[in-house]
């Protein structure tokens, strides 16, 4: 069963484990490479996924000064990945510099520029943590909206948000703004460290373009079955 709206993260410790998962879940067309695997394998995993004709979300969550994130985005653009992340909290100048650098480098190499999306607020953060740990004096939905609007203003392609904020962001930011939602949990799955969750069907109904779903599939004893169950739920409920 296929579903091109689900991105599965390769949150595994090495290239060999990634290969095992990709071979097992043959139906998955969009994979995410994050900090754990990229730190271990470097670009080798990207080459492997390209050979398999998979789409790639390179989730390195850049968060640094403008000059540094620009350099990182220039390097990432050379891999010809589909999606790339930066933290909105790096600020407007950093987002702008990142976008310009990624686009310029990809154009120079005649590659499609990666769609650069800003993390609004990690889905592992609750309203309480936002207020008491991060000391942000805004309601959580308002903070997420402001981060997304800042990303949109400087020309980023979209935002990573929890599905709980997707409806509001879709209304305000418009149909062209990409909404990528982790924090997605079927009713039968554990929430793990995710704080702001919706089910896959709720997330799609709220306006998400892509759902990032990891452990409910990858940590399952039957990953193929879990994948198929989620795909079937989406077909029957959306
Ligand atoms: O950028 C992300 O993909 C991301 C942002 C965010 O706010 N929350 C979040 O969980 N993620 C990623 O989405 C994936 C979620 O995995 P599971 O919680 O296993 O479904 C992980 O790879 C996280 O790194």
59 has pLDDT over 80: yes
In a domain, 1, yes or no: no
User: Is residue 193 marked as binding?
Assistant: no
Predicted ipTM > 0.90: yes
Query: Which tens digit of pLDDT belongs to each residue from 120-158?
Result: 999 999 999 999 999 999 999 999 999 999 999 999 999
pLDDT of residue 108: 98
The mean of the pLDDT values for the chain is: 97
In a domain, 196, yes or no: yes
Please provide residue 42's backbone torsions phi and psi, each rounded to the nearest 5 degrees: 65, -160
Measure 3 CA to ligand 1 centroid, in angstroms.
18
User: Is residue 67 marked as binding?
Assistant: yes
Measured CA to CA, the distance from residue 166 to residue 177 in angstroms comes to: 11
In a domain, 85, yes or no: yes
2 has pLDDT over 90: no
Ligand 1 atom nearest the C-alpha of 193 is 18
Measure 11 CA to ligand 1 centroid, in angstroms.
9
In a domain, 59, yes or no: yes
**Number of domains into which the chain is organized:** 1
Ligand 1 atom nearest the C-alpha of 194 is 18
pLDDT of residue 135: 98
Write the CB contacts of 168 (distance below 8 Å, at least 6 apart in sequence).
141, 144, 145
Which residues span the domain enclosing 115? 6-237
The answer to whether the predicted template modeling score (pTM) of the entire model surpasses 0.95 is yes
Mean pLDDT of 60-78: 98
Write the CB contacts of 129 (distance below 8 Å, at least 6 apart in sequence).
195
Query: Which tens digit of pLDDT belongs to each residue from 221-234?
Result: 999 999 999 999 99
Which domain CATH number covers 144? 3.20.20.70
Measured CA to CA, the distance from residue 180 to residue 86 in angstroms comes to: 13
In a domain, 220, yes or no: yes
């Amino acid at each position: 069963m296929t579903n091109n709206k689900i991105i599965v993260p390769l949150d595994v410790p090495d290239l060999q484990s990634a290969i095992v998962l990709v071979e097992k879940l043959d139906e998955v067309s969009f994979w995410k490479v994050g900090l754990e695997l990229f730190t271990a394998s470097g670009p080798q995993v990207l080459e492997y996924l390209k050979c398999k004709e998979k789409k790639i979300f390179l989730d390195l969550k850049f968060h640094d000064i403008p000059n540094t994130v620009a350099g990182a985005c220039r390097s990432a653009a050379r891999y010809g990945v589909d999606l790339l992340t930066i933290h909105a909290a790096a600020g407007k100048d950093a987002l702008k510099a990142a976008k310009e650098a990624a686009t310029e480098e990809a154009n120079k190499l005649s590659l499609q520029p990666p769609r650069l999306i800003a993390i609004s607020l990690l889905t592992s953060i609750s309203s309480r943590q936002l207020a008491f740990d991060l000391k942000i004096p805004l309601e959580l939905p308002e903070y997420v909206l402001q981060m997304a609007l800042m990303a949109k203003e400087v020309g980023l392609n979209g935002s990573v948000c929890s599905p709980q904020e997707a409806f509001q962001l879709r209304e305000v930011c418009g149909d062209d703004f990409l909404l990528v939602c982790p924090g997605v949990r079927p009713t039968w799955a554990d929430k793990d460290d995710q704080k702001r969750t919706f089910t896959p069907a709720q997330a799609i109904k709220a306006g998400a373009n892509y759902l990032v779903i990891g452990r409910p599939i990858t940590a399952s004893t039957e990953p193929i079955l879990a994948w198929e169950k989620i795909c079937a739920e989406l077909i029957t409920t959306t």
